[in-house]
Amino acid sequence: MAKVVLVNPQIPPNTGNIARSCAATGTELHLVGPLGFEISDRYLKRAGLDYWPYVKLHNHPSWSEFLALHKQIGGRLIGFTTSGKNSYLKIQFQPDDWLLFGSETTGLPPDILAICTETVYIPMSEPGVRSLNLSVSVAAGLFEARRQLGYLD
């Protein structure tokens, strides 16, 4: 099952909403620090409602600590970015993929994008809109991966 990775998330309600989506789908959620909030933040908890016991949450204080885990487990790193090479609808997701999303303000840093197996974007019709909300982007990517892998049946 693909896993969701948030690198340096900054806005507690976004992370809470993403945690709720992960809880509903049984998807692991990996938070990579530094975070722009405390895990105990009331806005984070409020957005996740009472679903936190169902979240398979993993907290990594740094990118290097996350990478150590990734090396042990394996799988492709799929970086979601407005400058991605392919539409997320054009790649074939695999069960061991890690879906990487950057912070709401800066996205994924260039050094992380450089080591991604794939970089993908979510197509948008209006060129004046720079990006989607982080929780919307995660939901789109996660549910497309789940659709392709047969988890929506």
Give domain limits for the chain.
3-148
Between CA 91 and CA 87 the distance in angstroms is 7
Taking only the tens place, the pLDDT of each residue in 119-132 is 999 999 999 998 89
73 is in an annotated binding site: no
Q: What is the pLDDT of residue 50?
A: 76
Between CA 50 and CA 90 the distance in angstroms is 35
* Residue 97 backbone phi and psi in degrees, to 5: -70, 150
115 is in an annotated binding site: no
122 is in an annotated binding site: yes
Taking only the tens place, the pLDDT of each residue in 42-88 is 766 665 567 888 999 999 999 999 999 999 999 999 999 999 999 99
Q: 86-87 and 98-101 as β-strands: parallel, antiparallel, unpaired?
A: unpaired
Q: 77-80 and 56-60 as β-strands: parallel, antiparallel, unpaired?
A: unpaired
Superfamily for the 3-148 domain: SPOUT methyltransferase, trefoil knot domain (3.40.1280.10)
Coarse DSSP helix, strand, coil percentages of the chain, rounded to the nearest 5 percent: 40, 20, 40
